[in-house]
């Protein structure tokens, strides 16, 4: 009797999601991304204080680095968001420093996954502000990761360390003598 309740609930949720998507497509809001919001806000010459704050917030949510002018604006107008931005920038720098010490691509990927997991787990609280901060931190870490993977330094890294290769080969029963 109760086994069908889950199916009905799933069906209703799917119908609701379809309505939301159709509404967004109809309003042409479906394809607007954070980058679109940033671009449109930057184009307006007469930016109101609210739109400027919204632009900076969108930039943070997108994982972008803030300029000193934007940080000063936050310091004056939104001190709470300013402190979040400073903490995010510190975490971004710390992540970048750790990436520089990686000896293989496997190690770098592991570091990235660990940082994302940690930020995500620390954001699973009831505090909405903290969850938003964790989302912004994840975006900043992903942004830095994408920058790093595009560099020559990342491309030069071996897939795995020499010791890891030896262990993998030993497990497979392959003996390589130098």
Total domain count, the chain: 2
pLDDT for position 148: 93
Do residues 20 and 67 share a domain? no
Q: Is residue 42 part of a domain?
A: yes
Please, what is the angle between helix 79-100 and helix 128-149, to 10°? 40
DSSP 6: H
Dihedral sign computed on CA atoms, order 149, 63, 86, 132: negative
DSSP 63: T
The pLDDT > 70 percentage for the chain reads: 58
Q: Is residue 165 part of a domain?
A: no
Q: List the chain residues with pLDDT less than 50.
A: 1-2, 30-34, 38, 40-41, 43-45, 126, 178
Domain of residue 13 covers 1-31
pTM here is: 0.62
Do residues 49 and 132 share a domain? yes
Do residues 18 and 59 share a domain? no
Q: Is residue 169 part of a domain?
A: no
DSSP 1: -
């Amino acid at each position: 009797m109760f086994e069908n309740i889950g199916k009905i609930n799933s069906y209703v949720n799917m119908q609701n999601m379809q309505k939301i998507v159709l509404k967004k497509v109809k309003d042409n809001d479906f394809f607007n991304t954070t980058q679109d919001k940033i671009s449109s806000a930057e184009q307006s010459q007469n930016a109101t204080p609210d739109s400027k704050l919204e632009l900076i917030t969108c930039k943070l949510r997108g994982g972008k680095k803030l300029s000193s002018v934007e940080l000063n604006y936050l310091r004056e107008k939104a001190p709470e968001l300013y402190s979040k931005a400073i903490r995010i920038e510190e975490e971004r720098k710390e992540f970048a420093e750790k990436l520089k010490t990686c000896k293989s691509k496997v190690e770098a990927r592991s570091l990235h996954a660990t940082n994302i997991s940690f930020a995500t787990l620390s954001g699973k609280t009831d505090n909405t502000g903290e969850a938003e901060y964790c989302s912004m931190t994840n975006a900043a870490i992903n942004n830095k990761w994408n920058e790093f993977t595009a560099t020559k330094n990342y491309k030069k890294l071996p897939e795995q360390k020499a010791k890891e290769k030896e262990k993998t080969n030993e497990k497979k029963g392959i003996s390589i003598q130098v």
